[in-house]
Chain A
């Protein structure tokens, strides 16, 4: 493969970084907030420009022949250590191939729309501490980190972006920090993410060690890892205490997946995402729906050559994804906070993506990642618009009947709901279909069960999304009168990006229409996203599904969506009194779902409290205050003072000759030692 050098790529992440740095200097050093138009021009301008550059890079990439689509931009050697077989090298290099091209288009494209939306959304937020500029500073910093993550040419650089997005997520969740709860949510997100990052780091170290062991000089760059992957394919790793030897690739794959679990909110580390809704709504859309949380999926796809070879790790990925999808969807049924419903829905959809990735359907995962970015960003931004219209009310029990009052928001929200429910020809239908096909034809143990879980989740998804829509926009308005009379459509800054995203949600599926439909529409190669990405991914066993089977599966998926819609319609429009009665008669089950299976409480009791208690009693009082502060630090000082007081000070006699004598003794001692 010829490495195509280009100097274009570096500017894609650099522009948002420059904007963030300028904002930071203005806030931090000048202690003065820039005029509003400067902030807008700088932030939105940099991201839009970055988007334009991404498009240029994308066009450049597609101009290359399909098997050598690969652009690289190397700035300098960032880490260089060791020699020979233990060499560790990492360049500051950006890499554009079909996978990262898709990602940067999503990040900068959806990111630009969300930046524009934020102008309108944050305008409502009058704060004394220059919140407007601070917000855009963080948002730009996030865009930079995310672009580093997807463009980074090696694992180390990817990790930099990985940590950067975690940091920005923390900063933005706790953006309204004067409320202690928001700050708590930010910390929770950061700490849970750190647990995942730990797994990621271990994975990197294990991989590096494996290369050293195999005697292959390896850098951490993806292409070199892939090239010398054969050398470590057969290595094994003995479990330290028990059991058989593990294949190294499985262990490495699992370690990376722990990282993905943290970042992409999978069982058991998903708990931070629902709480992350404490941040401003554009943040939820950008970070906690469209881009950052998909980083885990991106990583699994990036390392697809590794996962394709690690059956165990792949099976774990697929099963975790499927269970998360079902689990989170079931919680979403009972939530009444509009953003919480969407948050659990995001967790569930991310589970879908991992289900596809674990089953070897990497293009399916990426396809769903893209369409999900469109419709989930749309849903979150629509929810933000509703929240603005309702004067910062988020409880759907206090909404209803908004359709007539905010028609535009209602229409785009409905587009999002239909897209996520999986109704053709909206985008969600095609990507979900591809995932289900991947599960159906996978070689993972119990793949038919996975398919069944996927179908069931599709039905539940459709149900809770239509429930959300019906409760918010239709029926009687349950808001108090003074709010009801002042409901109004938000400004154009807010509404216009929604239309763009609605359009994308509507037609976004066209990039990956399966060949089945393409044939009947007489399109030569309709499966364009697949064709674009597939040179990158290991060729799985081609699934030989007859067209009739594929159409039947699509019909089943649509049937599930219709079923969900029907139940929601019956329960929330036809017989609105029924849900309360059902909740009453199914008391235990309802409470379990309402309280999210008490997972937070279980974690609190099993992990958080013991840890806090141990830290307080043992680590703080005994180790830190007792041993380190008491004995090591103060003890040293006290001991030396006592020694000086009772002996050492008499050495300072004031007699110059005494000093000379000691000096001579010392010199003789040293000379004696050296000449011995």
Chain B
């Protein structure tokens, strides 16, 4: 059986990778992918914690939350990719640095 420490550790590593990706990459699609990575890191943590508490009580709150997150993530990607397409049509680019007009 995989100990909880390992699950949480993996989750933290994935989350950090996702975060760094969001901050450093300029390609919008890669940023979206990094966000997915962060979400799935959280899902992993949910499942891991639920497994721990399940031995105590048998609840499935964590699993249900994971399903919710997946749903939200799907919706988010649909909207996000829509924005990317519209951005590409207007600017011929999917580089975030090209859309920084809203500033001082």
Contacts and interface: CB of A to CB of B under 8 A. Distances in A.
Contacts of A652: 103-104
A649 B104 contact: yes
Interface stretch (A163-171, A243-251, A389-397, A655-663): A655-663
A632 to B, nearest CB: 28
Nearest to A664: B19
Interface in A642-666: 649-650, 652-657, 660-661, 664
A641 to B, nearest CB: 14
Interface in A619-658: 649-650, 652-657
Contact of B97 (A650, A655, A660, A661): A655
Given A649-B104, A650-B104, A656 B96 contact: yes
A interface: dominant SS: helix
A654 B22 contact: no
B1 interface: no
B11 to A, nearest CB: 15
Interface in B16-35: 19, 22-24, 31
Query: Top 4 A-B pairs ranked by shortest CB distance?
Result: A654-B103, A654-B100, A649-B104, A655-B100
Contact of A660 (B23, B102, B104): B23
Contacts of A654: 100-103
B22 A660 contact: yes
Contacts of A661: 23
5 contacts: A654-B101, A655-B96, A656-B96, A657-B22, A657-B96
Interface residues of B, number: 12
A71 to B, nearest CB: 62
Interface of A: 649-650, 652-657, 660-661, 664
B97 to A, nearest CB: 7
B23 A653 contact: no
Contacts of A664: 19, 23
Interface of B: 19, 22-24, 31, 96-97, 100-104
Contacts of B103: 652-655
B43 to A, nearest CB: 19
A640 to B, nearest CB: 16
A656 B87 CA distance: 14
A333 B5 CA distance: 101
A657 B104 contact: no
A661 B102 CA distance: 17
A665 to B, nearest CB: 10
Contacts of A653: 100, 103
Contacts of A650: 104
A154 B102 CA distance: 64
A495 B16 CA distance: 96
A351 to B, nearest CB: 75
Contact of A657 (B23, B101, B102): B23
A652 B104 CA distance: 6
B95 to A, nearest CB: 11
Nearest to A656: B96
A657 B32 CA distance: 12
A92 to B, nearest CB: 50
A299 to B, nearest CB: 66
Contacts of A649: 104
Contacts of B19: 664
A655 B96 CA distance: 7
Contacts of B31: 657
A642 to B, nearest CB: 15
Nearest to B103: A654
A523 B100 CA distance: 105
Nearest to B28: A656
Given A655-B100, A664-B19, 9 more contacts: A649-B104, A652-B104, A653-B103, A654-B100, A654-B101, A655-B96, A655-B103, A657-B31, A664-B23
Contacts of B22: 657, 660
Contacts of B24: 657
A650 B97 CA distance: 16
Contacts of B23: 657, 660-661, 664
Nearest to B102: A654
Nearest to A650: B104
Nearest to B22: A660
Nearest to A644: B104
Nearest to A649: B104
A661 B100 CA distance: 15
Nearest to B100: A654
A31 to B, nearest CB: 51
A663 to B, nearest CB: 10
A650 B103 CA distance: 8
A658 to B, nearest CB: 9
A261 B22 CA distance: 76
Nearest to A648: B104
A100 to B, nearest CB: 65
B21 to A, nearest CB: 10
A650 B100 CA distance: 13
Contacts of B102: 654
A652 B101 CA distance: 11
A656 B34 CA distance: 14
A644 to B, nearest CB: 10
B79 to A, nearest CB: 15
A649 B104 CA distance: 6
A660 to B, nearest CB: 6
A163 B47 CA distance: 67
Contacts of B96: 655-657
A660 B18 CA distance: 12
A471 to B, nearest CB: 84
B14 to A, nearest CB: 16
A307 B24 CA distance: 82
A648 to B, nearest CB: 10
Question: Which of A649, A654, A661: most chain B Cβ within 10 A?
Answer: A654
A661 B24 CA distance: 9
A661 B22 CA distance: 9
Nearest to A661: B23
A664 B101 CA distance: 23
A380 B21 CA distance: 91
